[in-house]
């Protein structure tokens, strides 16, 4: 809420009201639609002149529920385990002076409280102390205090990371002030981030949305007066801005909240109704790509009242709508731009005008289905939907196997892990954080499936996703070639064709890819034609191969070259008799070898100019004729 805009009105009641059903559109004096008044404690009973924020805590030891109510002079703690007969347990007074602005969040059974009171800092209160309050209402004291900032408009906590973020403080240009609260009694400041503008409120999540680039990162969505900002704050020493966006008819970008699947972000603007003149407006953004968020659509409520804080649970969006009280919006079809109000409870029955009084905050996250409304003028309200559902769905998982594609990735849907999850409502929804796999995920991966219903009741199961790679690598060989003996030697040394880059292989999972050469590098070959083979194998055992023919010949001297020019072998191909004629030097010796280099026959001749070799009995194939140990010719026998 803007600092300049809160008039504190007179207290209207001085008692505790018990359960009043919603009948004929009212619950006692309060207009309602589908929500029963469980109880109400007025400001005078809480010994305060004004109300503001609220939050909740459930005792993990016994399931008892407690409401935490911000007041102008401190924080009230109310036991709502019996929602019709709440017990005001006492108050933690403000750290310094009174203020109309106070904000509360909970982590690890501790409440963390900030205020715009000068020098207030952050109070830390051990909520387990509420188990044993013998003489309520008590005046409590803090268990720890953080003075790294003075005043703060709001506090944000990511319970998964154990960090608190003071926003609207007197540090970092009003941007988030990072506090490590993993040891709640010893908060440690770890810097901050000066964003584009003063940050009025924010939501921080360990990201589990549709943008795979940021899965597991700590992402802050800031409502910064005239814009929404998205920041990666995983590395507290080096936060990285991701995107900044605005919208039409900006009044005061106040507060926003993710849908359960973190696809859409719903934003409330606190001044657009009064500045522009339309009914309550909620701006919905599509955050499928955090680097490129898009405006999705606008929703207009039935009254001109100003919207304040809003939260999503399941498929419902709960808005503290100032003089229109709490409004509940069904967002089941938000993807198609269709959301609709399904219920309400108006804590300010006088009118729904565009003014700064009435419901400041709602807290809808109790498993019991009870919802806290904190009202600036009338204190604490506890309401409950008449058709509420508090039964958790039953999550049932199935194990699956997925194969990597040619890009080395595989993507699954949350529903792929479902094996008949069910709910008493008949409809369940699914979320998973890890839906994309790559080569580093080969083998078994344990993936948690979240199953929830429209009321936000949740259950979880774990499935094994086995990632396989069944694609063969590709391997590329050079064309057939001829090579001469090594200089001064009577053989040719086989090179390492892979190291030389003549043979290459590619695979969707390149890590662990090997290429085997046969004959191995360094093998010495004599005259003949050889098949050089290569096999590529990836880390999953998939293989592929290629080969080429290498013909090894002698390198002729100058005299041998003259001898070769006058040497004729015919016919070629030959069937029976091969004629060898030399027009330059006499023929002295003939050696015939096969393709493997094995000698078929070797004959010595006197100095003659013509020799006939009988090849009729030889098998079909390629042979080599060496004349005078100087010149080698290839002959095909057919």
Q: What is the CATH number of the domain that holds 588?
A: 2.60.40.3080
Which of 504, 537, 553 represents a domain boundary (last residue)? 553
Question: What integer is the mean pLDDT of 24-34?
Answer: 97
Q: In terms of domains, do 563 and 505 share one?
A: no
Q: Is the pLDDT of residue 153 over 90?
A: yes
Which one is predicted more confidently, 161 or 6? 161
Residues 59 and 157 in one domain: yes
Sorting pLDDT into bands at 50, 70 and 90, what band is 569?
confident
Q: State the pLDDT confidence band at 633, using cuts at 50, 70 and 90.
A: confident
Task: Give the number of other Cβ atoms within 10 Å of residue 340's Cβ.
Answer: 10
Q: Strand 281-286 vs strand 294-300: parallel, antiparallel, or unpaired? A: antiparallel
Is 412 contained in some domain? yes
pLDDT average, residue stretch 205-215: 96
| Domain enclosing residue 460, as ranges | 400-468
The pLDDT, as a whole number, for residue 243 is 97
**Cα 106 versus chain centre, distance:** 25
- 263 DSSP assignment: S
Q: Tell me how far apart the alpha carbons of residues 493 and 485 are, in angstroms, rounded to a whole number.
A: 8
Q: How far is the CA of 635 from the CAs of 369, 532, 638, in angstroms?
A: 93, 21, 10
CATH of the domain at 406: 2.60.40
User: Is the CB of residue 150 less than 8 Å from the CB of residue 117?
Assistant: no
Q: Which of 273-287, 312-326, 613-627 is least confident?
A: 613-627
Question: What would the mean pLDDT of 264-291 be, rounded to a whole number?
Answer: 97
Across residues 353-363, what is the average pLDDT?
97
Q: 231: pLDDT confidence band, cut at 50, 70 and 90?
A: very high
Q: Looking at residue 560, what is its pLDDT?
A: 58
User: How confident is the model at residue 256, as a pLDDT?
Assistant: 98
Q: Which residues, other chains included, contact 572 with Cβ-Cβ below 8 Å and sequence gap of 6+?
A: 578, 635, 636
pLDDT number for residue 555? 60
Is residue 12 domain-resident?
no
**Do 422 and 517 belong together in one domain?**
no
Looking at the structure, do residues 478 and 574 belong to the same domain, yes or no?
no
Based on the domain organization, do 55 and 158 belong to the same domain? yes
Answer whether residue 140 is part of any domain: yes
Name the pLDDT band for 2 (thresholds 50, 70, 90).
Answer: very low
What pLDDT sits at residue 99? Answer: 97
Query: How many alpha carbons fall within 13 Å on the CB side of residue 245?
Result: 21
Residue 75 covered by a domain: yes
pLDDT mean across residues, the chain: 94
Looking at residues 261-290, what average pLDDT do you find? 97
Q: CA 438, CA 509: separation in Å to the nearest integer?
A: 8
CATH number of the domain within which 486 lies: 2.60.40.10
Burial class (CB in 10 A: 0-12, 13-18, 19+), 441: middle
Q: State residue 195's pLDDT score.
A: 78
Domain final residue, candidates 129, 144, 162: 162
Same domain, 107 and 151: yes
Question: Does residue 475 have a pLDDT over 60?
Answer: yes
CB neighbours of residue 25 within 10 Å: 9
| pLDDT of 4 | 41
Task: Express each pLDDT in 92-148 by its tens digit.
Answer: 999 999 999 999 999 999 999 999 999 999 999 999 999 999 999 999 999 999 999
pLDDT higher than 50, residue 7: no
Element (H, E) at 565: helix 558-565
DSSP state of 213: G
Asked if 582 and 545 sit in the same domain, the reply is: no
Residues 92 and 74: their CA atoms lie apart, in Å, by 5
Percentage of residues of the chain with pLDDT beyond 90: 85
Give the tens place of pLDDT for each residue, 510-559: 999 999 999 999 999 998 899 999 999 999 999 999 999 999 887 655 55
Predicted local confidence at residue 5, as pLDDT: 42
Residue listed under structure tokens 């003014």: 355
Alpha helical stretches, state H, 116-216: none
pLDDT: is 600 or 3 the higher one? 600
Quick check: 379 pLDDT over 90?
A: yes
541, 573: one domain: no
Beta bridge partners of 25: none
Do 534 and 581 lie in one domain? The reply is: no
- The total domain count for the chain is 4
Q: What is the pLDDT of residue 584?
A: 85
pLDDT of residue 250: 97
pLDDT digits (tens, 9 = 90+) for 48-83: 999 999 999 999 999 999 999 999 999 999 999 999
Instruction: Tell whether 448 and 492 lie within a shared domain.
Output: no
pLDDT the model gives residue 175: 95
In the prediction, which pLDDT does 562 show?
A: 66
Residue 544 belongs to a domain: yes
Is the pLDDT at 12 greater than 50? The verdict is: no
**pLDDT on residue 6:** 40
Residue environment code for 484-509, b if the CB has 16+ CB neighbours within 10 A, otherwise e: ebeeeeeebebeebbeeebbebebbb
> Percentage of the chain surpassing pLDDT 70?
96
Q: Which of 116, 140, 162 is the last residue of a domain?
A: 162
pLDDT above 50 for 628 = yes
Give the tens place of pLDDT for each residue, 448-466: 999 999 999 999 999 999 9
Please indicate, yes or no, whether residues 593 and 518 belong to a single structural domain of this protein. no
| pLDDT for 416 beyond 90 | yes
- Same domain, yes or no: 446 and 527: no
Q: Which candidate, 51, 339, 297, 83, places its Cα nearest to that of 328?
A: 339
pTM of this prediction? 0.83
């Amino acid at each position: 809420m803007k600092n300049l805009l809160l008039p504190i009105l007179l207290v209207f009641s001085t008692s505790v009201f018990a359960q009043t059903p919603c009948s004929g559109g009212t619950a006692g004096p309060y207009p309602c639609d589908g929500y029963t008044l469980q109880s109400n404690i007025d400001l005078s009973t809480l010994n305060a002149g004004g109300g503001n924020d609220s939050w909740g805590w459930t005792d993990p030891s016994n399931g008892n529920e407690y409401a935490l109510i911000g007041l102008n002079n401190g924080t009230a703690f109310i036991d709502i385990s019996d929602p019709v007969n709440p017990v005001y347990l006492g108050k933690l007074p403000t750290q310094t002076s009174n203020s109309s602005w106070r904000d509360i969040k909970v982590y690890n059974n501790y409440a963390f409280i900030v205020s715009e009171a000068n020098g207030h800092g952050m109070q830390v209160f051990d909520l387990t102390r509420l188990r044993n309050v013998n003489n309520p209402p008590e005046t409590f004291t803090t268990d720890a205090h953080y003075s790294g900032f003075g005043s703060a408009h709001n506090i944000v906590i990511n319970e998964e990371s154990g960090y608190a973020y003071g926003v609207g403080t007197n540090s970092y240009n009003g941007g988030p002030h990072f506090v490590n609260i993993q040891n709640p009694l010893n908060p440690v400041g770890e810097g901050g981030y000066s964003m584009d503008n003063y940050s009025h409120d924010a939501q921080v999540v360990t990201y589990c949305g549709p943008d795979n680039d940021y899965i597991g990162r700590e992402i802050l969505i800031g409502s910064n007066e005239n814009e929404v900002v998205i920041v990666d704050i995983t590395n507290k020493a080096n936060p990285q801005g991701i995107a900044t966006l605005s919208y039409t008819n900006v009044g005061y970008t106040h507060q926003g909240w993710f849908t359960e699947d973190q696809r859409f972000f719903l934003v409330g603007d606190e001044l657009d109704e009064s500045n522009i003149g339309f009914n309550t407006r909620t701006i919905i953004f599509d955050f499928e790509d955090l680097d490129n968020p898009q405006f999705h659509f606008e929703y207009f409520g039935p009254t001109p009242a100003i919207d304040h804080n809003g939260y999503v649970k399941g498929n419902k969006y709960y808005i503290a709508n100032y003089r229109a009280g709490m409004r509940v919006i069904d967002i089941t079809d938000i993807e198609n731009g269709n959301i609709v109000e399904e219920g309400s409870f108006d804590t300010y029955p006088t009118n729904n005008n565009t003014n700064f009084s009435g419901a400041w905050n709602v807290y809808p996250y109790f498993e019991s289905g009870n919802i806290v409304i904190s009202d600036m003028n009338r204190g604490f309200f506890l309401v409950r939907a008449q058709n509420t559902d508090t039964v958790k769905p039953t999550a049932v998982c199935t194990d699956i196997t997925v194969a990597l594609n040619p890009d080395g990735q595989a993507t699954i849907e949350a529903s792929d892990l479902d094996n008949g999850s069910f709910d008493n409502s008949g409809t369940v929804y699914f979320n998973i954080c890890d839906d994309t796999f790559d080569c580093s995920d080969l083998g078994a991966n344990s993936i948690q499936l979240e199953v929830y219903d429209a009321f936000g009741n949740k259950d979880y199961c774990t499935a094994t996703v086995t990632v396989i790679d069944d694609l063969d690598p590709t391997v590329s060989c050079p064309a057939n070639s001829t090579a001469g003996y090594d200089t001064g030697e009577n053989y040719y040394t086989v090179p390492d064709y892979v190291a030389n880059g003549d043979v290459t292989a590619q695979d969707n999972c390149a890590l662990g890819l090997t290429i085997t050469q046969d004959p191995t590098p360094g093998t010495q070959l004599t005259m003949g034609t050889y098949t050089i083979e290569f096999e590529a194998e990836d880390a999953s055992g998939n293989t592929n191969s290629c080969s080429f023919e290498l013909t090894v010949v002698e390198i002729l001297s100058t005299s041998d070259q003259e001898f070769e020019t006058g040497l004729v072998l015919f016919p070629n191909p030959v069937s029976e008799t091969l004629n060898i004629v030399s027009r330059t030097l006499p023929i002295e010796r003939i050696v015939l070898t096969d393709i493997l280099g094995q000698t078929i026959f070797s004959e010595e001749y006197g100095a003659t100019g013509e020799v006939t070799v009988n090849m009729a009995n030889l098998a079909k194939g390629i042979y080599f004729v060496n004349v005078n140990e100087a010149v080698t010719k290839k002959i095909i026998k057919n």
